[in-house]
Chains A and B, each alone.
Chain A
């Protein structure tokens, strides 16, 4: 393609990317470097139906001048990144010198919000991603070998978990695993423990969230692999059969090598999605047991007092986290592409 043709061809999408991806990122990074101005507090008397009380309020006139002069707030440099709600560098230093050993150190570290959220998010990512790929692949192979007549309905049903809105899907599961729900009660019966409650136990809640994650994402992997299966070279498959390869050997030595690039693709997308795990935490009301970086952004923005700079900082940390997580896959893809 000529350079000029190429330029006009990609211009619309580059503009869109600049506008909707690059500029918001620049804005978020900028905001993460600022904090609010020092609030000018004045003592006032508040009166209402329950009588008068001495209280304080923000002096808006005094604060307005500050806001007009520097609308972004006070420049704070890396302060937002290093405070306790984020990387907590100061706290880490203190824990390191004060701890009796590694166990004590790590238990203190995992009491800090960001590191606790990372522990859950990373466990979630590294458990859900491979399971999604394996399950999606199994479904794809199974559907592909079903007779033509039932294939349509099968595909439809396999896609259902993805069609259902995540919030609704997880809410349905939330009620089913309730101690009085059908799944929760079945678990109590299986475990022979009438007090067993998924919602009250952290390990069970983690398992529940991961089961949900796999359930919700498997159809995506399935669709991709199913499409890939349609392009497997039939001649190769037939010659493998003539050579006496059984079904498993054909999958292992013909189908899987053919689908490897797709596995990379699914892994890439899934790792990105799973690192941003959010909806199930809200729907399962799991914030007492599991948090993620996305959940922190949500609670910073939705709290009674909004913490915009903190949310911006967490957003940047999420982008960096996704970048680190994806780097091995990206490097690999780049190398494969270079070879090709």
Chain B
């Protein structure tokens, strides 16, 4: 809710601020220090990193390393002294790994000195210390084919149960063989779908106040059964489909209903890669609920930037200023506007972003920032596939997940 309000406010502010921004140009000529960015690779982050790198002038050096494997290299690249990367672009799950290893610094000092132009609601505060500056929001939500739903005569589903009913009708009427899509690739993606669905069922992952996992319960079983019901309407290869492969299936016109990332809907709705009938009818809906619950079966995400701990003050200042410029209103133009739900003044929501706003409005749970959530995510990703393939029972799968998590948490010192 706060975000929506701020975005509206931001539009007003942007109009006021235009003159001053123009006077200052891109306002970020940095002449000394080292800027080195590591982050995920998708259009919005490319825009931010590009704008930040463009700030370096004279003796300053700037480079960026954007890759889908950023999580495999950011901790290692920031552990040295001096750190290879002076900033990592992270999300609410991946900042935890950097916090756990203590490789990023609190930004309070830099904010006090150079923080003008950064809105307080962009700040990610942990234990009273600002650890990151968020610049975009993301969530998974329904994406549907308007024409197909009109053909079977149903409204866009608001619950997963409705989605299953619609999928059955599409299959029975011979329109599509496997009308449901989803990033169900074994590993991180599949675990994320479990997290969504489990939160939608009102589940909690850990015993209150401890790192002891507690998912082998009714909600856990209901979650697994719902995931399995959905896979029955998916391409049989679903365990190998990540977000990219799922998008390809969508663009090929094989899928009519799916739960997909807001940051990826722009690609589905543009004119590239699919036939007119597909991209013109691709429509974004809100996140769905499940099992009669009121919390959507989805999670809210932010993407933001951090500053490495093991670097000189000069490099930290240069990095801070460059990243501030990278997420300044100056980066917004016709091309970049639709790339994400920006938390930047001057952002105007486009139709492709409606799903993320709906997710925020519906009170979707943010992805948990617990130090041990990543271990559970890995355990989930490794152990759900057996159940979906019918090799073991839901109870056994949940027991396996708990056992795998417990072994890992003991090794990391979270459990004794």
Contacts and interface: CB of A to CB of B under 8 A. Distances in A.
A57 B127 contact: yes
A4 B97 CA distance: 53
B2 interface: yes
Contact of B236 (A43, A48, A200, A289): A200
A304 B71 contact: yes
Interface size classification for chain A: 35 or more
B317 interface: no
A111 to B, nearest CB: 7
A38 B411 CA distance: 9
B389 A53 contact: no
A285 B72 contact: no
A23 interface: no
Interface in A151-178: 178
Contacts of B414: 39, 41
Nearest to B187: A287
Interface string A50-64: 110101111010011
B413 A39 contact: yes
A304 B413 contact: no
B99 interface: yes
B370 A48 contact: no
Contacts of B124: 46-48
Contacts of A41: 211, 371, 414
Nearest to A52: B125
A264 interface: no
Which of A80, A111, A284, A299 has the most B CB atoms < 10 Å from its CB? A111
A304 B369 CA distance: 12
A74 B413 contact: yes
Contacts of B187: 287, 299
Nearest to B385: A288
A292 to B, nearest CB: 14
Contacts of B274: none
Interface stretch (A12-20, A211-219, A305-313): A305-313
Interface size classification for chain B: 35 or more
Contacts of A39: 371, 412-414
Interface stretch (B23-31, B88-96, B258-266): B88-96
Given A42-B127, A46-B369, A202 B389 contact: yes
A42 B129 CA distance: 14
Nearest to A296: B382
Contacts of A299: 187, 378, 382
A195 B235 CA distance: 9
A83 B126 contact: no
A200 B92 CA distance: 32
Interface string B347-371: 0000000000000100000101111
Contacts of B413: 35-39, 74
Interface in B36-62: none
Given A299-B382, A305-B100, A85 B408 contact: yes
A221 to B, nearest CB: 30
B374 A305 contact: yes
Contact of B237 (A49, A85, A179, A310): A179
B60 to A, nearest CB: 30
Interface stretch (B219-227, B282-290, B318-326, B396-404): B396-404
B185 interface: yes
B410 A35 contact: yes
Given A57-B127, A58-B100, A288-B389, A301 B374 contact: no
A190 to B, nearest CB: 17
Interface of A: 35-39, 41-51, 53, 55-58, 60, 63-64, 74, 80, 83-85, 91, 111, 113, 178-179, 195, 197, 199-200, 202, 284-289, 299, 301-307, 309-310
Interface of B: 2-3, 69, 71-72, 75, 92-94, 96-97, 99-100, 102, 121-128, 134, 137, 185-188, 209, 211, 235-240, 242, 300, 302, 343, 360, 366, 368-372, 374-375, 377-378, 382, 385-386, 389, 392, 396, 400, 403-404, 406-408, 410-414, 416
Given A303-B378, A306-B75, 12 more contacts: A38-B413, A55-B370, A57-B99, A57-B371, A58-B102, A84-B407, A85-B407, A85-B408, A111-B392, A287-B382, A302-B71, A304-B374
10 contacts: A42-B127, A44-B126, A48-B92, A49-B2, A74-B413, A83-B410, A85-B408, A179-B236, A199-B240, A288-B385
